[in-house]
Structure 1
């Protein structure tokens, strides 16, 4: 039986490239909070398709033994157009 807070440890891939390895939400915010976490990444998008994957890193919770113990989580994504050679893309 699990007796502690479920861990959320996962890898993040953007357009097939690993951008965060073994990302731990709780460590990043310094404990349990509802604080937003912001990470910025640059990616090339073709045909208007942005691919983001959150994969369980094999070190966190793989099951749901109790309410509140879950795997990767994301609440919002913001994507902005970039600029290449002076042209908005």
Structure 2
């Protein structure tokens, strides 16, 4: 519905929250950021975020793709920070 202020679905909120936590902790020297990005990737895979859904609205498809892109960017940045290869 246009103009709806309906809150985002709970799984999407959890993924965005995980991205935020990784971004905050990315400069932390512990391995917490590496652990969180791994968890984020597993959640996204379990939700099939990386697959296009036939018949899905264009807006949701675009949001899904942007979410995938930002997860991949965080994974690459975190792997550079730790000196290892990306998980994706």
What TM-score, normalized to structure 1? 0.28
> Which structure has greater helix proportion?
2
| Higher gyration radius (CA) | 1
